[in-house]
Amino acid sequence: MLWAQADGLADKVRDNWVYAAIAAGVLVALLVLYRIATGRKKRHPDLEKGLREDLASYPPPPAATGPKRLNVNGVPVRVRLVVVAPTGKLQTAIMPDDVPELLDDVVRGLGACVKADKPRIRVWPPQLSVAGFAPTFHRLVESPDRDAQASRWVKLAGPARTGERSILLGLALLADEPCKLGNVQVETTEWKELLEIAK
């Protein structure tokens, strides 16, 4: 009797195996969709987190200025942030202590202004895109009044030549009075035209 019932059940499964396979497939698909819908999404790490700067949080420059004064297009400014980065992965590393000397190679006297103004000095990792450095600098270094017509903050960024070596240089400068210079993308040969060391 038991054997006959097992035989009858086996016949039913044999006749309806297609439906059983479809039901199993639908069940697996529903489990996969449920897992996708409720699974936690991985947050991508912010690779630029350590590079971001908020100029609103910067302290004012020292009251005393050095014997020489830095001007940008005739506007007196103080250096508040210096960002340097090697061009490409094959360049030797840049140390923060070497930055004033490197800046003197870009514009004579700029290193002395940096020493007098005591800005933050940041060394970014090697940059593979020379053309992409300036837009990246302007995006990551946030000015407190970036939407204003006139601002005290002036940001300069671009490639620079220091003797035999090329570097990428970004400067955040605080003007004495609001001006309309804003964000300036600088070419290698323009640093000496834009920056003037006045006595």
Percentage of the chain modeled with pLDDT above 70:
88
Domain annotation covers residue 150: yes
Domain annotation covers residue 45: no
Q: Which domain holds residue 77?
A: 50-198
Domain annotation covers residue 43: no
Q: What is the DSSP string of the chain?
A: -HHHHHHHHHHHHHHTHHHHHHHHHHHHHHHHHHHHHHSPPPPPP-TTGGG-EEGGGPPPPPSS--SSEEEETTEEEEEEEEEEEEBSTTSPP--GGGHHHHHHHHSTTHHHHHHHH--EEEEPPPBS-HHHHHHHHHHHEE-TTTTSSSEEEEEEEEEEEETTEEEEEEEEEEEEEEES--EEE--GGGHHHHEEEE-
Our count of domains for the chain comes to: 2
Asked if 31 and 60 sit in the same domain, the reply is no
Asked if 84 and 162 sit in the same domain, the reply is yes
Q: What is the mean pLDDT of the chain?
A: 86
Asked if 194 and 132 sit in the same domain, the reply is yes
Asked if 15 and 96 sit in the same domain, the reply is no
pLDDT of 140 reads 94
pTM, to two decimals = 0.75
List pLDDT tens digits, range 170-187.
Answer: 999 999 999 998 899 999
Reply yes or no on whether the pLDDT at 76 is more than 90. Answer: yes
